[in-house]
Structure 1
Amino acid sequence: MKITLHSSMAALGAAMMLLGSCSKSKDSGTIDLGNGTNTGKSKYVFVVFSDGSGGEASRYIISADDIKSGEISVKNNGVETNAYSFLAQNNTLFGITYADQGPTQPYKLDETGVLRKYGNQVNTEFTGAYTKIGTEAYVGISVARSLESPVATLYKFDAKKLMLAGRNSVNLAKITGNGEMANFNGLFEVNDKIYMPFNCSPGVTGQVTKYVDSTWIAVFNKADMAYQKVIRDGRMGPIGNWFGMQGVQQIENGDVYAWSTSAGITGKPSTKPSAIIKINATTDQVDPSYYFDVQAKTGKKIARGTHIKNGKFLMSFYQTEVTGGVSGGIVNLAIVDVINKSVTNVTGIPNHAQMPYENKTFIEEDGKTAYYVLKDDSKVLYSYTIDTEKATATRGVKFTGIQDVTSISKLKY
């Protein structure tokens, strides 16, 4: 995977406090928190790339008490990490290295709010996509891109015991049924299943897929990670984007929604519009009566989406005819209500270049506030605070000495 994801910070703003004991070093110490701390406090946690000043450009996990104002840097703040992919589960941040064996390192906040390594590093797989399962596990799948060697491995990681809890292999060439192989763009928990949207890939260097005008979702059993079937629809193009972990979401009433940018794969755009479809999660079948042609309604294509609450999504939209894949294109934000088929533009936020892989977002539990990181025209990174009910945005914390933010999450301590 190339991606994703999620965040200790310096007291540069009035609402921020210095993490003095968490220095800019490769190892801030490993802790054993038992069942974890419980002070009733929390911090926003970011994974960032330093700007390389002094000849050093490294990845750090940093945190902050408040991100509505002030500045954040890696100075005297955070843990240096080799991991590239991150997800928060069971109040633990898991850093997955994008490499052979996929070494995975858990991190937690200690009782003083300092982020530290937690437990031992565990080898998993060369992970290309992943998702949280329930409240105490996550599932990942390894990378396989060659038609000559199309077998990938699904694995389950117990986020409470910090250990592997199962594996199962799948032949990606047997899923498509068209001579190409499945290239998964994400994993999503849906009841007792795992939905894995994919695009088709020839699996041969230099060749481009012929199949860009259909939507495919592979369905796996959650318990044993065994492949079951493919859900297909021909009204829009492939779902999601490589390493994006977005494109499918089950909402509170049980319905599942999936969206396509129709931006195409490796430069070959779909002829179908950017749209949203609905899937009946009890039957794993597309609802033929629901189709939201977002491109016809707005004149724009969806780039990325994050579920807020009750069928409302924070989505980024391409503002020009130029679209991106893992990154690229100029985007802005809107609140999309998939139930009522409405789109409301978010005010107070500038058009900006789409950052790689996924939107850097965090949604508060009540769904009323979202945080979104962007890089402006002057190449400065900011977090914007979005009132999801009013569809308004306010510029918040500034990232200094940081060239990229790859994920946002929130941990309690």
Structure 2
Amino acid sequence: MKTTKLLLGAFLALNFGLWTACSKSDKPVDTGGGDSGTEGKFIIAATPAATQGVADYLLTTDNLDQGTLSTKNNGVEQDGTWRYYTTSGNLFFSMLYGQGNPGAVTAYKLDAAGALQKVTNFQTETVQAFAPVDKDILLMKIARSASNDISHWYKVNTETLQLNGEGEINTRALAGNGELAHFSWLTQVGNKVFAPYFSIKADGVDGFGTKYPDSSWIAVFNYPDMSLNTVIRDNRTSFIGAYFTNGLEVDEKGDVYAYASPNATSNGVITSTTPCAFMRINSGTTQYDKSYFFNISEKSGASYISFKLYLGNGAFLLGMTDPENPASGSTDRFAIANVYNQTFAWVTGTPDPAKITSVSELNSYSPKDGKTGYVGITTSDGKSAVYKFDAASATASKGLEVEGGTITAIRWLPSKA
């Protein structure tokens, strides 16, 4: 099994140019949710099958429940093979990951006929985490070598389209244990930024290994000056999320749920001994609720969480790993979990786990109605389809089929911001 990882390059250059100021202040970047109740289109990114080193095609559709799309003589071809996608307001961003080098970013919007139209193209530098915060996009370029312990943050205002702040964080000092803090993601929580991190040796030999496998940390920054407020620490789990994987979710009540899978290593060997679990930070606080611990390992056996999709009302669709290789990070099967009542149910109706070859958080979408989620799944026979997940019954059914391509992203794009 293979999980397509989200590796997004997104430091916005000074020629940010025509990026519209029409961003939703509550969610200017959509990383898997969205609101399909308004007028717009679903965007499906797909890589043509039976080819190597080719670019994705962007396809549009009105629904994910049924029908067929094809990459043959259809869609908007992208430039470059490593593309990753997000939305902001009524714009769809196609980002070329530069693998350390600057990469192009192309933005599209829907025209009156519902077709994608290019509105701008600009250059970026590679960053490893980003998030919408107030009316900014906060970006983090993260240090990860012994000779460089300074990480850089940048803010781009979505109304003025200007870089309106930048600064440095000494991630060795932040870790405070001789290793470096490496942020897994960034999330706005109230008027602060929560930045979970894992501790890495960054020694040139065992770079992402650690001497501290059974601890989790969340750096809490004040906004907008990004001064450090506190660090939330715990030793009931390993680190929150994973590389370029968001382990936090803020629910409708303002409570924060954080998941951890025991994936920490030393010299290539898993050394975590804690369970896979959810923990909770109550609204308005900067500490874990010690009375809350949702032990996923007790429910799933040997499987770990590989990614999450929040469905709303406490319900999550979880990608789960192969029980025979739980630390692989690859999605083997799926489960529905509710963090409110701590229920867990395996999903039926998905393809044979042995045949799943591509699935990830980027391939998922939910209207956050507490009921429904969608995931693009590709199988070893080369077939790709969007599967609809029902939270109440813990079942999945095949919806939209994509012919001639591997689904790499699903996004909802409104016609108006």
TM-score by length of structure 2 reads 0.82
Contact 1:383–1:396 (Cα < 8 Å) also in 2:
yes
- From the superposition, tell whether residues 172 and 138 of structure 1 become closer, same or farther in structure 2 (CA, over 3 Å): same
Letter in 2 for 1:128: Q
Q: Show the counterpart of 1:77.
A: 75
Contact 2:7–2:97 (Cα < 8 Å) also in 1:
no
**Which sits farther off after the overlay, 248-257 or 42-51?**
42-51
1:77-102 deviation line (CA, Å, top 9, x unaligned):
12414463322122222333333345
Q: Show the counterpart of 1:147.
A: 146
Matches within 5 A, 1:343-382: 343-352=344-353, 353=356, 355=358, 358=361, 360-382=363-385
Letter in 2 for 1:186: W
In the alignment, the residues of structure 1 paired with residue 125 and residue 164 of structure 2 have an alpha-carbon distance, to the nearest angstrom, of 13
- From the superposition, tell whether residues 391 and 408 of structure 1 become closer, same or farther in structure 2 (CA, over 3 Å): same
Q: Show the counterpart of 2:87.
A: 88
Contact 2:19–2:107 (Cα < 8 Å) also in 1:
no
Letter in 1 for 2:411: S
Q: SS at the partner of 2:299? A: helix
Contact 2:364–2:410 (Cα < 8 Å) also in 1:
yes
1:274-299 deviation line (CA, Å, top 9, x unaligned):
11111134221111111111111331
CA shift, 1:179, in A, is 0.6
1:44-72 deviation line (CA, Å, top 9, x unaligned):
1133333364x761133332222222332
Matches within 5 A, 1:12-51: 41-51=39-49
Q: SS at the partner of 2:78? A: strand
Q: Show the counterpart of 1:18.
A: none
Report whether the alignment pairs 1:59 with 2:21: no
| Percent of residue pairs identical | 30
Report whether the alignment pairs 1:398 with 2:395: no
Report whether the alignment pairs 1:323 with 2:322: no
Q: Show the counterpart of 1:261.
A: 261
Q: For structure 1, which runs of at least 5 residues remain unmatched after alignment?
A: 6-29
Letter in 2 for 1:261: S
In the alignment, the residues of structure 1 paired with residue 119 and residue 392 of structure 2 have an alpha-carbon distance, to the nearest angstrom, of 37
In the alignment, the residues of structure 2 paired with residue 161 and residue 59 of structure 1 have an alpha-carbon distance, to the nearest angstrom, of 31
Letter in 2 for 1:250: V
Report whether the alignment pairs 1:202 with 2:183: no
**Which sits farther off after the overlay, 290-299 or 371-380?**
371-380
Contact 1:89–1:137 (Cα < 8 Å) also in 2:
no
CA shift, 1:171, in A, is 1.6
Matches within 5 A, 1:104-123: 104-121=105-122, 123=123
- From the superposition, tell whether residues 96 and 397 of structure 1 become closer, same or farther in structure 2 (CA, over 3 Å): same
Contact 2:94–2:105 (Cα < 8 Å) also in 1:
yes
Letter in 1 for 2:279: I
- From the superposition, tell whether residues 140 and 81 of structure 1 become closer, same or farther in structure 2 (CA, over 3 Å): farther
Q: Show the counterpart of 2:30.
A: none
Q: Show the counterpart of 2:289.
A: 287
CA shift, 1:212, in A, is 1.1
Q: For structure 2, which runs of at least 5 residues remain unmatched after alignment?
A: 9-16, 24-36
Matches within 5 A, 1:330-349: 330-349=331-350
CA shift, 1:236, in A, is 0.7
TM-score by length of structure 1 reads 0.83
Q: SS at the partner of 2:319? A: strand
Contact 2:180–2:201 (Cα < 8 Å) also in 1:
yes
CA shift, 1:109, in A, is 1.4
CA shift, 1:129, in A, is 1.3
Q: SS at the partner of 1:287? A: coil
Q: Show the counterpart of 2:274.
A: 272
CA shift, 1:267, in A, is 4.1
- Which structure has more relative contact order (CA 8 Å, sep 6+)? It is 2
Contact 2:256–2:282 (Cα < 8 Å) also in 1:
yes
Match of 1:313 among 316, 323, 333: 316
Q: Show the counterpart of 1:20.
A: none
CA shift, 1:314, in A, is 0.9
Contact 2:59–2:74 (Cα < 8 Å) also in 1:
no
**Which sits farther off after the overlay, 178-187 or 347-356?**
347-356
**Which sits farther off after the overlay, 176-185 or 82-91?**
82-91
In the alignment, the residues of structure 2 paired with residue 56 and residue 236 of structure 1 have an alpha-carbon distance, to the nearest angstrom, of 39
Contact 1:316–1:334 (Cα < 8 Å) also in 2:
yes
Q: SS at the partner of 1:370? A: strand
In the alignment, the residues of structure 2 paired with residue 361 and residue 85 of structure 1 have an alpha-carbon distance, to the nearest angstrom, of 13
In the alignment, the residues of structure 2 paired with residue 101 and residue 229 of structure 1 have an alpha-carbon distance, to the nearest angstrom, of 33
CA shift, 1:322, in A, is 0.5
Q: SS at the partner of 2:337? A: strand
In the alignment, the residues of structure 2 paired with residue 149 and residue 371 of structure 1 have an alpha-carbon distance, to the nearest angstrom, of 40
- From the superposition, tell whether residues 46 and 341 of structure 1 become closer, same or farther in structure 2 (CA, over 3 Å): same
CA shift, 1:165, in A, is 3.1
Cα RMSD for the two superposed structures: 2.8
In the alignment, the residues of structure 1 paired with residue 342 and residue 38 of structure 2 have an alpha-carbon distance, to the nearest angstrom, of 38
1:136-183 deviation line (CA, Å, top 9, x unaligned):
442221142112112222222333444433222212211111111012
Q: Show the counterpart of 2:412.
A: 410
Q: SS at the partner of 1:225? A: coil
Q: Show the counterpart of 1:250.
A: 250
Contact 1:141–1:155 (Cα < 8 Å) also in 2:
yes
**Which sits farther off after the overlay, 372-381 or 227-236?**
372-381
Give the aligned length. 380
In the alignment, the residues of structure 1 paired with residue 138 and residue 309 of structure 2 have an alpha-carbon distance, to the nearest angstrom, of 19
Contact 1:373–1:381 (Cα < 8 Å) also in 2:
yes
In the alignment, the residues of structure 1 paired with residue 20 and residue 289 of structure 2 have an alpha-carbon distance, to the nearest angstrom, of 46
CA shift, 1:213, in A, is 0.7
